[in-house]
Structure 1
């Protein structure tokens, strides 16, 4: 029987990258959804029929339920997840259909994790926060943590060039992440941090080199302490290339009135302006991504530091690889863990290494 995969929000840059990865690595029949019928014919023709298009809005509950019932796996790419409820996940659990998403905000992650018992009872494997960051980044951390007798500190740094090859939704996600202070796990207790604060210069692999990163609200800040209880500090920082985008983002986070940044029309305005700017700067900055994971801990009675890095020339394609690889493992039956889990709790390191190698993504490691 042919596997049937439903990709919600599959018309977007991330969703279409996930579809392309699955088309490259599986024989699944893929259906991507969007709210406009204009996109459909071109998709079917360009994919030779392996990828089909379905006009679907998430508010069309009956149509959504039917589409999920006719699928073996649902991949939720319809962000921003700041605004999303868990209706898709709940429907998957009710229908007994496995679930993957590219969610990247703690509010959604918290809500999704609340359904772990129901998913386990239904035999449904639901893996959230897949993609590049969070996603591949989380597995890099797990890979590092496993090198230690007692891991103690995690420092994750992300760098994106220009638009990252993504669409307007990713811009919205960035500005939505500036709205409120957030809790982080530092020195064994929860502390409140201001978004886009405490600039730090971090050494990334070529072509990036030493670049500025800032505190940014990511779901890893609370899923990693849960996955690795001995860890006392988790730092997640994000930066942009060219560097002047960092300064503009800092202004939006610290100078603009908070009430203004919490208005949806302001988020839309900033997102569209930023996307127009990156259309120009992409020509010389590129659209790549770099991730640096640094784990500090005890090994053989001594304190040591294990560093992992990865670079990809296209952020959106890298996200597609992260999500697509997990979807592939679920379809092949190699990954089965009923419940709702973040990537670092669901994906064993050996399988992570296998799917990264099959996609030509090289993770570099070093002891510092």
Structure 2
């Protein structure tokens, strides 16, 4: 980040690390002084998922239909999503971080890859098990969007990889996953097995963002693509185009901040990022987007 400020060059990164993103954010004033626009955590998740959450929250507040109370990010990627040892290393490193979540404004620290939920990602993906992870959009959504209860969960396939991650967190201390050399040894051990199943698992990716409000209204956004490798490219390019088109003010911003992605530019960004998706919906009630809702007649679904 400091290098790009020195070069006076616009900057977009796709980091998914909470500590790194906060360090990047600390260059905000220097970037403002240098008249440099920059966005951090601007990939698919975090990134597009942050913008989806921002739009769900904005829609509720604009319509004065209750106040946002609970925001939940759910992510699913089949196998390594085509990223091989890179995503494997990232996943292991996250097992070394306590999960930061928020409950009614109180910060909680939870065990990584715990708190399993079975979530319906809608058509093309179906129901998948997801587990708590420490991801930067939890903190930014809480602080920037002002939602008191926020958490993020992730799951993969085949299902036994999830079991393996849970087993590792039970067998090894957090400190083990904070040692990059030990993590690299784990990657080398598991990578051949993961690659063997990647061909069968595919690389589908899905994000579901759920917002619950004080008046009982629940809204959902879903974004699913057959290939993570393509979808990440579209998502990152959408942020880069937004910066080049002048939608980002000088400074360092998270995707939720209007200075990072102007409110009027969010719809275009989401449309660009959603190219090739098998399912992309926003601001729908859960029953409308979940797998195979059944029509009873007269437009009534269960």
**Secondary structure, in 3 states, of the residue corresponding to 2:217?**
strand
Counterparts in 2 of 1:90 and 1:209: CA distance versus 1, 3 Å: same
5+ long unaligned stretches in structure 1: 1-88
The structure 2 residue matched to 1:305, chosen from 200, 214, 218, is 218
Greater RCO structure (CA 8 Å; 6+ sep): 2
Alpha-carbon contact 1:159-1:240 (below 8 Å) kept: yes
Which residue of structure 1 lines up, in the alignment, with residue 17 of structure 2? 105
Once the two structures are TM-superposed, the CA of residue 258 in structure 1 deviates from its matched residue by 3.7
- 2:53 maps to 1:135: no
Which residue number corresponds to residue 285 of structure 2?
A: 367
Maintained 8 Å contact 1:187/1:232: yes
Residue 261 of structure 2 corresponds to which residue in structure 1? 347
Measure, in 2, the Cα distance between the counterparts of 1:313 and 1:129. Answer: 22
Cα offset for 1:349?
4.9
Length-normalised TM-score, structure 2: 0.86
State the Cα distance separating 1:191 from its structure 2 match.
Answer: 1.1
- 1:160 aligns with 77
Aligned twin of 1:36:
none
Tell me if the contact between 2:121 and 2:222 (Cα under 8 Å) persists in the aligned partners: yes
Q: CA deviation at 1:251?
A: 1.1
Instruction: Name 1:239's counterpart in structure 2.
Output: 155
The alpha-carbon deviation at position 268 of structure 1 amounts to: 0.8
Equivalent position of 1:148 in the other structure: 60
Determine the structure 1 residue equivalent to 2:245. 332
How far 1:336 moved relative to its partner?
2.4
Separation in 1, partners of 2:276, 2:162: 30
Partner residue in 1 for 2:209 = 293
| 1:205–1:290 Cα contact (<8 Å) kept | no
Equivalences for residues 213-292 of structure 1 within 5 A: 213-229=130-146, 231-292=147-208
For residues 170 and 282 of structure 1, the distance between their equivalents in structure 2, rounded to whole angstroms, comes to: 12
- Residue 289 (structure 2) aligns with: none
Count of residue correspondences: 275
In structure 1, how many angstroms separate the alpha carbons of the residues matched to 2:280 and 2:262?
15
Q: CA deviation at 1:282?
A: 1.9
Q: Deviations over 1:184-243 (max 9, x none)?
A: 2222111111111111111112332111111001011211112112x1111100001111
Deviation at 1:303, TM superposition (A): 2.1
> Quick check: 1:163–1:275 contact (8 Å CA) kept in 2?
no
The answer on whether the counterparts of 1:125 and 1:338 sit within 8 Å (CA) in structure 2 is yes
Structure 2 residue runs without a partner (length 5+): 62-66, 287-302
Q: CA separation in 2, counterparts of 1:273 and 1:318?
A: 28
The answer on 1:126 being equivalent to 2:43 is no
Q: Helix, strand or coil: the match of 1:134?
A: coil
- Report the aligned-residue RMSD: 1.7
